[in-house]
Amino acid sequence: MVMTKAQSEAQWELDKLVRDLDMQSNARMREWVAGLGLTVAQASALREMTGPMTMRELAERMSCEPSNATFVIDKLETLRLIERRPNPADRRVRRLVLTPAGAELRKRLMKVLSEEPLFAGLTQDEQDALQGLLKRALFRAEVLRP
């Protein structure tokens, strides 16, 4: 499908808006989590740790490769926020579990993240519509990825 010049310019503007929003969101996130002594990747791991899980499960929830998650988890383990424990279902696999200090820090993180949501200025209907549109766009991007 060939786009008209106007469609191409509109697509470019939409791409730019999404990029700018992502950059602002990441900058805010870095600022918020730095106050907790975390990087964005570490905060992402803690946020996704809703219970014991494998490294592969965590990496999937963080939308990254397991090797990248391993680097993050190694640091969180050094900070005594996460422990690797045997998995009762499969002894070859380790489960990640929050320590009491990790659970407390996760609670503080979730409070910080909920205090000033990025989309608070939108109505619930607008947030729902935006979420639906972004999910469709992400799905389409996955389908078109080489």
Say if residues 77 and 83 touch (Cβ distance below 8 Å): yes
Residue 119's pLDDT band (boundaries 50, 70, 90)?
A: confident
The CATH architecture to which 5-118 belongs is Orthogonal Bundle (1.10)
pTM above 0.85, yes or no: no
Tell me the domain boundaries of the chain. 5-118, 119-146
- Residues 60-107 pLDDT 10s: 999 888 888 999 999 999 999 999 999 888 888 889 999 999 999 999
- Residues 8-57 pLDDT 10s: 898 899 999 999 999 998 898 899 899 999 999 999 999 999 999 999 99
Q: How many CB atoms lie within 10 A of CB 87?
A: 15
Nearest to 82 by CA among 57, 105, 59: 105
Has residue 1 got a pLDDT over 70?
no
Which phi and psi (to 5°) does residue 36 adopt?
-100, 0
Residue 2's pLDDT band (boundaries 50, 70, 90)?
A: confident
Has residue 117 got a pLDDT over 80?
no
H or E segment at 18?
helix 5-34
pLDDT computed for residue 143 by the predictor: 75
Q: In what order do the strands lie in the sheet with 90-98?
A: 53-54, 90-98, 82-87
Q: How far apart are CA 85 and CA 87, in angstroms?
A: 6
Both structure tokens of 94: 């380790």
